Amino acid sequence: MKDWLRKMLFFSLLGLIVLLLGIGLYLQHPKFGRLPDGSNLERIKSSPHYLDNRFQNLIPTPQFTGEQSSASSLWEFLFTKKERLRPTDPIPSIKTDLMALDKGKDTVIWLGHSSYYMQLGGKGILIDPVFSSYAAPVSFANKAFEGTNPYTADDIPEIDYLLISHDHWDHLDYPTVTALKAKVKNVICPLGVGSYFEQWGFEKQRIHEGDWFSSLELEKDFTAHVLPARHFSGRLLTRDKTLWAGFALVTPQRRIFYSGDSGYGPHFKQIGEMLNGFDLAILENGQYDKSWANIHMMPEEVAMAAEELKTKALLPGHSGKFAISNHPWDDPLKRITLASQNKNYRLLTPMIGEPVYLDKEQQGFSQWWEGVN
């Protein structure tokens, strides 16, 4: 073999080894999290929803739908023509001073995508906060739209309850969570997700995990119900080792439902009947695709779910910040507006940072997306 060929093979092999070592070291970064083990895993194994070493949905939920194979669906998703995935204009927002909110007034503020801040029954509640400029393992992927990150961890008051619905990157953000650590009194999450928080330095007594249909009453006059969603979990290649969930937050004055990520299913009607309806339902409404119709709702299904939950008002989210699917960025808002006509609930469409006052049933909001290109 000629010397030049041997040298080329040597350096090619060396480069491959260095690349693999680099990837291996990168995957040790704490942002990837640690899956449940030891006593945490033993507790998970006792869940009726954990079968064959993974969590299962209440009804069969293939991740890919239709007649195409998974590979064909993935190819179509990656290479189909995409139009208006991202706005060219900045997304408008109102930066409300969260520190100055009246704790005596029940208030909900959308922080973009699936992040929400609430004052509920005098408690400060933060749901699925993502203040990073991207929602992915690497900074060049899944970039936030311009204008959608007005808030940082410094803007957040002391948090009585941090709620995390599941471990996907657009819901569980390592930089945000670790920046908030000193402000968080309690973490509420589904089974297994607490292992991430333990690794990230949260004391175990602050972490409260729940299985579907469990209730956590950590103090008088406030109950968090951990409820089923139709989805999946995993931060890299491992799937369904931690649970995904929605939440119902109940005080003597209010009942609020948050769906997390969920495809449409019979659980919405079951939850509505079990808790006798809601004052507000916050439902995912975006990042849908016909190829994964089981794990994300179409806007028309969001409207159906809202009625089955027997909610007085609907606040749609999971859109307006990241382009995870191939639909136009404003399609979810347009379609849910049409689907909500003549329904038994009020549709709420605040801008990022615009307060929703739960005692003001006549409060109105603009269709702010209409002026954004």
Q: What is the CATH number of the domain that holds 286?
A: 3.60.15.10
Range of the domain at 15: 1-32
Of the chain, the percentage scoring pLDDT greater than 70 comes to 88
Are 27 and 112 within one domain? no
Q: Is residue 56 part of a domain?
A: no
- Does residue 78 lie within any of the structural domains? no
Q: Are 297 and 285 spatial neighbours (Cβ–Cβ below 8 Å)? A: yes
Q: State whether 12 and 129 are in the same domain.
A: no
Judge if 23 and 102 occupy the same domain.
no
Separation CA 99–CA 182 (nearest Å): 16
**Dist. CA 80–CA 270, nearest whole Å:** 37
Residue 12, domain member (yes or no): yes
One domain for residues 121 and 205: yes
One domain for residues 22 and 158: no
The mean pLDDT value of the chain amounts to 91
Within-domain flag for 360:
yes
- Residue 74, pLDDT > 60, answer no
How many domains is the chain built from? Answer: 2
C-alpha–C-alpha distance, residues 127 and 303, integer Å: 22
Q: Are 9 and 103 contained in the same domain?
A: no
Q: Is residue 18 domain-shared with residue 104, that is, in the same domain? A: no
Provide the pLDDT for residue 21.
60
Enter the tokens of residue 348: 């709420």
Confidence of residue 15 (pLDDT cuts 50, 70, 90): low
Measured between alpha carbons, how far is 198 from 144 in angstroms, rounded to an integer? 28
Same domain, yes or no: 123 and 13: no
Query: Residue 192 falls within a domain, yes or no?
Result: yes
Residues 17 and 110 in one domain: no
Q: What is the CA radius of gyration of the chain?
A: 21
Residues 118, 28 within the same domain: no
Q: Is residue 73 part of a domain?
A: no
Query: Lowest-confidence range among 130-139, 244-253, 345-354?
Result: 130-139
* pTM > 0.85: yes
Dump the DSSP string for 109-129. Answer: EEEETTEEEEEETTEEEEES-
DSSP states along 65-106: -SSS-HHHHHHHHHHS---SSS-SSPPPB----GGGS-TTS-
pLDDT at 140: 84
pLDDT per residue over 144-165, tens digit each?
999 999 999 999 999 999 999 9
Give residues with Cβ within 8 angstroms of 363, minimum separation 6.
348, 356, 357
Is the Cβ–Cβ distance between 160 and 103 less than 8 Å? Answer: no
Residue 269 maps to a domain: yes
User: 232-253: per-residue pLDDT in tens?
Assistant: 999 988 999 999 999 999 999 9
* Predicted confidence (pLDDT) per residue in 76-110, tens digit: 655 566 789 999 999 999 999 999 999 899 999 99
| In a shared domain, residues 162 and 298 | yes
